[in-house]
Chains A and B, each alone.
Chain A
Amino acid sequence: MNQRLGHIIEHRAHGAGPSGRAATYLVHDDETGEDFGFAYTAIVTEGFRHLRKGERVRFLTDPGRPGHAFYIVQLDLPEVEAYY
């Protein structure tokens, strides 16, 4: 897998309904200009999964699955004190 840096360019909050298909995102690779899609479950966190448009992330891609991003890591998480 290749590690890349990019930012979120689109967030589609689907009406999930019983299917559980909650949200999909598009991430833009800042270096190559390529775009990749991923489901909310690809966000690496133990907590709440949500990304804002414009948010910077680190992610992996797999040549075997073109167009898909995995292991999305948020790079702009707020400092602890910002939550209080």
Chain B
Amino acid sequence: MTVELDSRLRHLKDELDDHSRVAHHLGLDLERPIRSLGDGYPENAVSWVGKITERILKQLWRHHQVQGDPAGKSLSELIRGCRPHISSGSVLEALHDIQTLRNRSAHDGYTIAEEDGLTAVRRLVQVLTWFSTTGSQALTGEVPRLTPEVAAKVEFLAGLYLTLGFQSVKRFELTPHTVYQLFSREIGLRTEYVELLMSRDVDEVHQVLDSTGGELLRTRLPKLTRFLVLESDEVVTGAFEDYRVVAYSRFMDTLVDIEAHLQAVTLSMPGEFVPLAAELLTAGQQSADMSVSRIGDAHQLLDEVARSSGNLLLVGRSGSGKTVLLQRLVAAGRDDDARRYRFYFDMSLKRPDETFPEFVSRTLAPFMSVDSSHVFDVFHYFARSGSILCALDGVDEAVADNTQAGFLELFGELAQVLSANSTIIMSSRVSFLEDSPHVRRLMDGTTLMSERLVQQLHAQGIDPLSVPRFSALRLHEEISPLERQLTAVTGLEQSLPDLLWARLISVFSDASLITRLPRAVELFGTAVLEGRTTFSLAEICNTLGIGCFDQGVISWENYQLNPLFRRIGAERVAFSHLAYQELLAAEHLRSPDARQAAAGGRLTEQIRALLHHRAKDDLDRDDRVLTAGTYLVGPSHHLMLRAITQPVRFDRYPVTVGEYNAFLAAVDQHGSAQWDHPETPAGHSHRPWQERLRLQDYYLNPAYSDHPAVCVDWWSAFAYARFTGKRLPTSLEWEAAARGTDGRLFPWGDDIDLDAANCADAYAGHALVTYEAWLAEHERGSLRHALPEKVGTHPRNRSPIGVRHMVGNVWELTSTTLNGHDDMVVICGGAFDNPYRAMQASSKGFYQRHRSSNVVGFRCVEDLD
């Protein structure tokens, strides 16, 4: 052993000795890792640290009554289970490091170095120090001397100073209500001290000091770092004149100027109070299934959450009042003793290249008197310990990559402030958290989440079942506050998109700027597709002209379009509601050139819905020709603009039994070699798979000749298309033909119409919103009679270019193979045994080329010059 190692080991041993009470109570031998290192076996040291950590976590597991038995749980499972009850970010990091080192030491191909062993022991010391210093009895099993209320306060204050980089030097529990703590930290050559004397009132402190002869106050530390923390405000003189006296409930004032923060974030709060109907959904402890637990006014329900603690996702349509709700909730902290420290973050202001901790630090640094490097650490500690309420408004607007994976990446960042004690209220226009039948029922059909969400949460390191105490508040106003407000301003009774447009026109007209509207459409529409929602007044002047500013003075007061905007700091503005900017983006995308230029841009479901609303009548033909151009495709959580380079004409209907029988007759007469795909397996037959046909006379009975051809595989579909001089469409062509240029959800538009398609819901007689509902109907037998119908049965099932019966009835084979899997082909559109939700124009599945099914058919396209 080197001298240097010996010295470091002795130092670590001394530090571990400080935790002998924990070691004794839990029966731990804290010297084992040190001995292993001294003997030259760092891998054994890491292994011992892992075992000790497991033992500590099992104790915490039982202490906090985490569901289940910790015996037999792995280290990662123990960390996950205890995580919601650990408020310190550094302890969580230390546990993560221990787990990583342990995993490496168990891996055959990885060598554990001496330094790794030392790191593991240091991390263990960090964990033990936290629990010892914060006075938690969880690990010592000692009979508490302090009352539980005082113990909790002492624990919070000790944790706060550890978070700020201090170490505990002294701690005396003088009475059940009086505690003295001394902390220190070294910054360069300087040592900083903080003394905290906490008690019920000043009389009790006097009594304690009298009994100890006043020894405690005879330190000579800087005056500003001495705090006397009492239950309530008191005027104190005499012996405590060099103490800063503060009520416990106001202690955070020493670090945060909450009033200045509130003034900065609630400028746009309107005065009128409008009740909002809402449903509170809470998750079960075991299944995580969510159910409606309360119905009532959203303000009141949120207020209850603020008082009782808990994390909540506020979900509502655009303009449903989420921002006003959150700003009111945060401002109400001024007059409330329950979590009076409330923080509000406008998540739309988070820059794309900024992490959540960086955004929080930038937003709060002006209001916190701690080093900028500690701003997020302190906020993180406040949030996880449940000391504050934190409102994160418009989390969906902070997603850099507007895909489900993008949502989850952001949520992974936000989740670090969630704990069993935290009170975090997030708002979003779409739900990316809830994967619950009950929530699905209440959510818009296009925001439905799947099991894939659960997997992706796991990939982000989040266990959906252990996201602590997360409930959802769903706003469900028939008419949103924004609609009411715009109806009052415009005097019109129209849909929200029309009201927004009317308001835009009105403000531009009043300012005599209507001729600048096209440039505004391009400027603001392009910007939101790039993820930009704030603008400098100079930029607006440069693009729209000085005429936007009264008397040519570039200022907020002279900005003639300011009824549509809100101020962001001194020089920048954003739309008062993002829906205005998204409407301009939708208007921008009506132009084919704009769609082409925007390929790769950030498209939201809101922009798509507005585009459909504005452009639904732009395309209405019956020639079935899909022209070259850029089309909006993809599910709502992953919208894309994709180019069609060559025009094609679609068959009006899927290939029918009668048409396919004609092909079979030709094959019988001439063989099929001239039409077969070169890779068609030897001995392949184009005959339908008779044994599989649900209706055994399907290809024989003339009654079915106008029904779609099914139970034929992709090789036969390919050959049929060649036989007719055509080909199978690509999956992109298929979807573009169904959605047209406005990106509609269904071939006929965005509205749900159960009469427009042949789907499982129709056989069940009601909407089958969940898998469970579908399965129940299947087991009941009501889907046994579900069958393909004649093509063209539902006249409304018609695309903007006149292609019929694209969704429902039968899935349709395409020529697109699944990326990386040549044998797998993409199928589109849903079938008669699928629920309505699977019949969107974007619905897709994949199937092997040699398989055939009663629910899979096909149609052809013809290339045009």
Q: What is A's interface to B at a CB cutoff of 8 Å?
A: 13-18, 20, 22, 41, 44-48, 50, 52, 58, 73-75, 77-78, 80-84
Expressed in whole angstroms, the Cα–Cα distance for A44 and B640 within the complex equals 26
B630–chain A nearest beta-carbon distance, Å: 13
In contact, B838 and A16 (Cβ under 8 angstroms): no
Contact of B834 among A44, A47, A73, A78 (CB under 8 A): A47
B386 to chain A, nearest CB (A): 31
- Give the contacting residue for A73; candidates B451, B691, B843; CB below 8 A: B451
- Chain B residues with Cβ below 8 Å from A75 are 455
Cβ of A22 to closest chain B Cβ, rounded Å: 8
Chain A min CB distance to B118 (Å):
35
Q: Tell whether, in the assembled complex, residue B732 and residue A84 are in contact, meaning their CB atoms are under 8 Å apart.
A: yes
A and B contact pairs by CB, cutoff 8 A, 11 listed: A15-B689, A18-B696, A44-B771, A48-B834, A73-B451, A74-B451, A78-B846, A81-B640, A82-B820, A83-B816, A84-B633
Flag if B830 contacts A47 (CB, 8 Å). yes
Q: Which residues of B contact A46 (CB under 8 A)?
A: 448, 450, 771, 774, 834-835, 837-838
Chain A interface mostly helix, strand, loop or mixed? Answer: loop
Give the nearest-CB partner of A19 in chain B. B694
A15 in contact with B692 (CB, 8 Å) = yes
Q: Which residues of A contact B506 (CB under 8 A)?
A: none
Q: In the complex, which residues of chain B have a beta carbon less than 8 angstroms from the beta carbon of A50? A: 845-848, 851
CB within 8 Å: A-B pair count: 95
Kindly list chain B residues whose C-beta atoms are within 8 Å of the C-beta of A15.
Answer: 689-692
Binding site for A on B (CB under 8 A): 403, 448, 450-452, 454-455, 633-635, 638, 640, 642, 689-696, 731-732, 771, 774-775, 778, 784, 811, 816, 818-820, 824, 826-827, 830-831, 834-835, 837-838, 843-848, 851, 853-855
How many Å lie between the Cα of A77 and that of B451 in the bound state? 10
Q: How far is the CA of A46 from the CA of B845 in the complex (A)?
A: 10
Specify the chain A residue showing the minimal Cβ separation from B854. Answer: A16
A80-B638 in contact (CB<8A): yes
**Min distance, Cβ A5 to any Cβ of chain B, angstroms:** 11
Q: Does the CB pair B451–A47 fall under 8 Å?
A: no
Q: For B854, what are the chain A residues with a Cβ–Cβ distance below 8 Å?
A: 16, 22
Instruction: Please measure, in the bound complex, the distance between the C-alpha atom of A74 and the C-alpha atom of B834, giving whole angstroms.
Output: 17
Beyond A47-B844, A48-B811, list 17 extra A-B contacts (CB 8 Å): A16-B691, A16-B692, A16-B694, A17-B694, A18-B694, A22-B854, A44-B451, A45-B450, A46-B771, A46-B838, A47-B843, A47-B845, A48-B847, A50-B848, A83-B818, A83-B826, A83-B846
Give, as a whole number of angstroms, the nearest-CB distance from B492 to chain A. 38
Q: Which of A22, A47, A78, A81 has the most CB of B within 10 A?
A: A47
State A22–B710 Cα separation when bound (angstroms).
Answer: 14
- Give the complex CA separation of A13 and B784 in angstroms: 18
Return A65 CB to nearest CB of chain B, in Å: 14
Q: Which of A46, A50, A52, A84 has its CB near the most chain B CB atoms (within 10 A)?
A: A46
- CB-based contact B691/A80 at 8 Å: no
Interface core residue of B450, B635, B820, B827 (most chain A CB under 10 Å): B450
- Report A8 CB to chain B, min CB distance, Å: 13
CB pair B771 A80 closer than 8 Å = no
Give the complex CA separation of A80 and B238 in angstroms. 72
A81–B600 Cα gap in the complex (Å)? 12
Which residue from chain A places its CB closest to the CB of B784 in the assembled complex?
A20
Least Cβ–Cβ distance between B12 and chain A, in angstroms: 38
Contact status B775-A84, CB under 8 Å = no
Q: How far is the CA of A74 from the CA of B778 in the complex (A)?
A: 20
With A17-B692, A50-B846, A84-B816 in contact, is A41–B826 under 8 Å at CB? Answer: no
**Which chain A positions have C-beta within 8 A of B816?**
83-84
Contact A78 B689 (CB under 8 A): no
Say whether A84 contacts B640, CB under 8 Å: yes
| B731 close to A48 (CB less than 8 A) | no
Closest CB-CB distance, A62 to chain B, in whole Å?
15
For A80, the closest partner residue in chain B by CB is B638
In contact, B775 and A41 (Cβ under 8 angstroms): yes
User: Which chain B residue lies CB-closest to A77?
Assistant: B452
**Shortest beta-carbon distance from B137 to chain A in Å:** 35
Bound complex: CA A84 to CA B455 (Å): 22
Residue picked from B732, B784, B827, B853, most chain A C-beta under 10 Å: B853
**Complex contact B771–A45 (CB within 8 A):** yes
Contacting residues, chain A, for B448 (C-beta < 8 A): 46
User: Inside 8 A of A84's CB, which chain B residues have their CB?
Assistant: 633-634, 640, 642, 731-732, 816
Which residue on chain B has the smallest CB distance to residue A17? Answer: B691
Q: How far is the CA of A69 from the CA of B643 in the complex (A)?
A: 43
Q: Contacts of B691 on A, CB cut-off 8 Å? A: 15-17
Chain A nearest CB from B332 CB (Å) reads 41
B760 to chain A, nearest CB (A): 10
Considering the chains assembled together, what is the distance between the CA atoms of A18 and B698 in angstroms?
A: 11
> Which residues on B sit within 8 Å (CB–CB) of A20?
694, 784
9 tightest A-B contacts by CB? A15-B691, A48-B845, A82-B819, A80-B638, A47-B838, A46-B838, A73-B451, A83-B844, A15-B692
In the assembled complex, the CB of B172 is this many whole angstroms from the nearest CB of chain A, namely 50
Question: Of B455, B635, B778, B819, which one neighbours A78 at CB under 8 angstroms?
Answer: B819
Bound: A75/B771 CA distance, A: 17
CB contacts (< 8 Å) of A82 on chain B: these are 818-820
- With both beta carbons as reference points, the residue of chain B lying nearest to A48 in the complex is identified as B845
**How many Å lie between the Cα of A74 and that of B824 in the bound state?**
16
In the complex, chain A residues whose CB is within 8 Å of the CB of B771: 44-46
Is A13 a contact of B633 with CB atoms below 8 Å?
no
**In the assembled complex, how far is the CB of residue B786 from the closest CB belonging to chain A, in whole angstroms?**
10
CB distance from B439 to the nearest CB of A (A): 15
Asked whether, in the complex, the Cβ of A83 is within 8 Å of the Cβ of B695, the reply is: no
Q: Which residue of B lies closest to A47 (CB)?
A: B838
Could you tell me the distance in whole angstroms from the C-beta of A9 to the nearest C-beta in chain B? 16
Query: Are A17 and B834 neighbours in the complex by a CB distance under 8 Å?
Result: no
Minimum Cβ distance to chain A for residue B638 (Å): 4
Question: Chain A nearest CB: distance from B788 CB in Å?
Answer: 14
Contacts of A48 in B (CB 8 A): 811, 827, 831, 834, 838, 845-847, 855
Q: How far is the CA of A75 from the CA of B453 in the complex (A)?
A: 11
**Roughly how many angstroms separate A73 CA and B830 CA in the complex, as a whole number?**
19
Which interface residue of B694, B830, B837 has the most chain A CB atoms within 10 A?
A: B694
A80 and B634 contacting across the interface, CB-CB below 8 Å: yes
Residue of A nearest to B844 (CB): A83
**Cα of A14 to Cα of B816 in the assembled complex, Å:** 26
Chain B residues with Cβ below 8 Å from A17 are 691-694, 696
Most chain A Cβ neighbours within 10 Å, of B633, B690, B819:
B819
A-side contacts of B454, CB under 8 Å: 73
Q: Across the interface, which residues of A come within 8 angstroms of B846, CB to CB?
A: 48, 50, 78, 83
A48, B844: Cα distance in complex, Å: 8
| Contacting residues, chain A, for B732 (C-beta < 8 A) | 84
Q: Which residues of A contact B845 (CB under 8 A)?
A: 47-48, 50
- CB <8 Å contact, A52 and B847: no
